[in-house]
């Protein structure tokens, strides 16, 4: 096992309570190419279902992508889209770096929700999924595992729907959740002060 991961894992697992867990959790961008215990991911998915859910609509839909061929196809799509965005061929090192971004994390869970006619219901369902992702991320972080919720253009590309066998008429992809062992704990980002966002009506 990488000694860097051991150090990171120990630092995270020493957090004593929920407040510390929330304030110390970070979005992880770089992962070691090592597997995460599947039981941790499965438990995280179960805990997502305990998120607050208005009217108990149970909107969570998850696609746990375990097939290496599908992961690799998504990585190649990422390379292609980045080249199109740059409007020039990408060097081999850049291509490999993009591939690593998609293949290094141990697991990929695609987040979906059923297509809704009502914009109100869609927002309600999305809020529930977001809170479920927080549950997942906190559970995994408590076990030394990092996550990243990605919602860029690739996540909703038609080819991704085809690779996953998902019908756009029935379900909507709202993001990817990358899961893996972090190479390092990211620095603490600037956060708003409560006084900047709170209005008290007395």
Asked if 146 and 179 count as a contact pair (C-beta separation under 8 A), the reply is yes
* Token pair for 15: 């957090």
How many CB atoms lie under 10 A from the CB of residue 115? 12
**Residue 196 belongs to a domain:** no
Q: For position 5, what pLDDT does the model report? A: 57
Cα separation of 142 and 202, whole Å?
Answer: 38
Per-residue pLDDT of the chain (202 residues), as tens digits, is 555 555 666 565 555 688 889 999 999 999 999 999 999 999 999 999 999 999 999 999 999 999 999 999 999 999 999 999 999 899 999 999 999 999 999 999 999 999 988 999 999 999 999 999 999 999 999 999 999 999 988 999 999 999 999 999 999 999 999 999 999 988 988 999 999 999 999 9
Q: What is the DSSP letter of 179?
A: E
Q: Is residue 189 part of a domain?
A: no
Domain count for the chain, please give it: 1
Q: Round to whole Å and give the CA distance between 99 and 125.
A: 32
Residue 32 lies in a domain: yes
Pairing mode, if any, of strands 107-114 and 61-65?
antiparallel
Give which of 154, 131, 45 is closest to 164, Cα–Cα: 154
Give the separation between CA 55 and CA 57, rounded to whole angstroms.
6
Residue 197 lies in a domain: no
| 193 in any annotated domain | no
**CATH number of domain containing 170:** 3.40.109.10
Which pLDDT tens digit goes with each residue over 9-55? Answer: 656 555 568 888 999 999 999 999 999 999 999 999 999 999 999 99
Q: Is residue 168 part of a domain?
A: yes
Looking at the whole model, is its pTM more than 0.85?
yes
Residue range of the domain that includes 52: 3-184
Helix, strand, coil tally for the chain in percent (to 5): 50, 15, 35
Residue 155, C-beta contacts closer than 8 angstroms, at least 6 positions apart: 110, 173, 175, 176
Q: What is the DSSP letter of 92?
A: H
On whether residue 192 sits in a domain, the answer given is: no
Contacts of 135 (CB under 8 A, 6+ apart): 44, 47, 48, 50, 51
Q: What is the pLDDT of residues 24-34, one digit of tens each?
A: 999 999 999 99
- Cβ atoms 65, 179 nearer than 8 A: no
């Amino acid at each position: 096992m990488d000694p860097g991961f051991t150090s990171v894992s120990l630092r995270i697992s020493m957090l004593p309570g929920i407040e510390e867990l929330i304030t110390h959790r970070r979005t992880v961008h770089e992962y070691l190419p090592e597997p995460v215990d599947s039981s941790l991911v499965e438990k995280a998915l179960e805990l997502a279902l305990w998120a607050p859910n208005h009217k108990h609509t149970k909107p969570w839909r998850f696609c746990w992508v375990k097939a290496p061929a599908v992961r690799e196809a998504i990585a190649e799509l990422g390379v292609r889209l980045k080249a199109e965005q740059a409007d020039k061929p990408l060097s081999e090192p850049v291509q490999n770096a993009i591939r690593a971004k998609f293949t290094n994390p141990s697991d990929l869970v695609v987040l979906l929700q059923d297509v809704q006619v009502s914009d109100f219901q869609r927002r309600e369902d999305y809020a529930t999924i977001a809170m479920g992702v927080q549950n997942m991320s906190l559970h995994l972080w408590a076990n030394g595992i990092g996550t990243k919720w990605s919602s860029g253009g690739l996540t909703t590309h038609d080819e991704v729907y085809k690779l996953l066998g998902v019908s756009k008429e029935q379900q909507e992809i709202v993001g990817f959740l990358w899961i893996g062992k972090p190479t390092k704990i990211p620095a603490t980002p600037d956060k708003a002060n409560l006084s900047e966002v709170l209005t008290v009506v007395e």
